[in-house]
Structure 1
Amino acid sequence: MEQGRAMLLKVEQVEKSYQSGAARVAVLRGIDLALAAGETVALTGESGSGKSTCLHLCAGLDRADAGRIAVAGQDLSGASDATLARLRRDTVGLVFQQFNLIPSLTVAANLAFQARLSGRHDADWAARLADRLGLSALLDRYPEQLSGGQQQRVAIGRTLAARPALILADEPTGNLDEATGDSVLDLMLELVAETGAGLLMVTHSTRLAARLNRQVHLRGGRLA
């Protein structure tokens, strides 16, 4: 972390396990991770290594068994569900493999949804995002009328439209062709540079991971 940059994410000795039949399976075994404002970090690892679990914990969607996670200075371990919901609304932008678009809303309304919730809707910024993501001609359509790749772009645009301080992205370009994926990552990196946000991105692509400031690898429940 560069001196003078605010700490957006601090993960300290976090452990997480799940019940599988009669056994308790350890997924994360005391991981440490730090992410500063304006920094981009790629989280890599084999399938099933716990990358998505790590993101869910950082987003407050699940709770660690042990250790501490702080997002923008907020300790998640003792936070109420309402506090965690506000944090996701106002501070954290999530891009997961499930699109989670609202089927009754048009593309335009889906793009604006998170920004309106957080009180940061900017019509000009939303229009720029739609153009950059190749969605301008689809704004009146509904999610069921879109391809998987188009839905993925809407989900990414919805997150970026709210200008979150911390972006947590799980394979955000996994449903996109290489050229479109590169363009989307360009946009995410531009937003980080423009706003001073932080980006933690899970990816299997060594090519995409190399474009971020730093790479950490999850193996055997520990970060290398």
Structure 2
Amino acid sequence: MLVIEQLCKSFTTAQGTLPVLQGVDLHLARGSSLALMGESGSGKSTLLHLVAGLDRADSGHILIDDAPLDGRSEAALARWRREGVGLVFQQYNLISSLDVAANLGFQARLAGRHDPQWQEYLTERLGLTPVLQRYPEQLSGGQQQRVAIGRALAGRPPLVLADEPTGSLDEASGDQVLALMLQLVREAGSSVLLVTHSSRLAAQLQHRCFLHAGRVQGEKG
């Protein structure tokens, strides 16, 4: 479903060029889950941003169902972010002017795939029914993260990208939220690539790989 070949990315700093990704190769099968691990600064979030079409690589290829992502126009990348991928970040990124119900359906409506029954099911499974009319600032951190997960899955995207999605939650809440997210991802028929520094959380996914010095060092099933 996702194939990454010899991906390279550097950033320009005051001290000169900083190489972050140096020939990354990665494969993610349709319907599977992969945890991307590595120390801080190893390039995990950068890789996720490239796959999401939020930034462009210096060289290498990202293939989605054998179709290259690199080289697409800005409009095509925006369409990919709208229709092809669901994003879950540690910062939630909810729209403060919209209530929970509107936040949940936001991306699915943009993608033209709003399904009221599926959204209602997500709402119930995520325990958000009592807070549908509340706004993000009225929610706890755990509730906001559940809204972010529901929003990412409401349009049943082929791929879900999650960057430390439970990083701001306590350990018990984080474990519970991740387990629920992975179950809903399977029900949505999506694949998931999750960035985490926690081997405990990574153990919940089907596969794990490690990013070190800009390269994938190994994979465990």
TM value normalised by structure 2: 0.92
> What does residue 6 of structure 2 align with?
13
Counterpart of 1:146 (choices 99, 118, 139) is 139
Report SS of the residue matched to 2:86: strand
Cα distance between partner residues in 1 of 2:151 and 2:173: 17
Letter in 2 for 1:173: T
Tell whether 2:169 aligns with 1:188: no
Tell whether 2:192 aligns with 1:202: no
RMSD: 1.5
Report SS of the residue matched to 1:102: coil
> 132-141 or 103-112: which moved more?
132-141
> What does residue 124 of structure 1 align with?
117
Letter in 2 for 1:130: T
Tell whether 2:25 aligns with 1:32: yes
> What does residue 4 of structure 1 align with?
none
Letter in 1 for 2:212: R
Shift in CA distance, 41/122, structure 1 to aligned 2, threshold 3 Å = same
Counterpart of 1:51 (choices 44, 57, 64) is 44
Cα distance between partner residues in 2 of 1:167 and 1:212: 13
Counterpart of 1:73 (choices 59, 66, 71) is 66
State how many pairs are aligned.
217
Cα distance between partner residues in 2 of 1:61 and 1:42: 20
> 132-141 or 51-60: which moved more?
132-141
Letter in 2 for 1:25: L
Percent of counterpart pairs with the same letter?
63
Tell whether 2:184 aligns with 1:163: no
Letter in 1 for 2:6: Q
Letter in 1 for 2:98: L
Tell whether 2:86 aligns with 1:93: yes
Report SS of the residue matched to 1:217: strand
Question: For the Cα contact (< 8 Å) 2:153–2:188, is it kept in 1?
Answer: no
State the 1:9 CA deviation.
0.8
State the 1:134 CA deviation.
2.2
Shift in CA distance, 191/134, structure 1 to aligned 2, threshold 3 Å = closer
Cα distance between partner residues in 2 of 1:99 and 1:28: 26
Query: Cα deviation per residue 1:88-114 (whole Å; 9 max; x = unaligned)?
Result: 111111112222211111001000111
Question: For the Cα contact (< 8 Å) 1:152–1:175, is it kept in 2?
Answer: no
Structure 1: gaps (5+ residues) = 1-7
Report SS of the residue matched to 2:71: coil
TM value normalised by structure 1: 0.91
> 138-147 or 39-48: which moved more?
138-147
> 124-133 or 158-167: which moved more?
124-133
Query: Cα deviation per residue 1:125-150 (whole Å; 9 max; x = unaligned)?
Result: 22222222222111101112223332
Structure 2: gaps (5+ residues) = none
Shift in CA distance, 199/221, structure 1 to aligned 2, threshold 3 Å = same
Shift in CA distance, 195/125, structure 1 to aligned 2, threshold 3 Å = closer
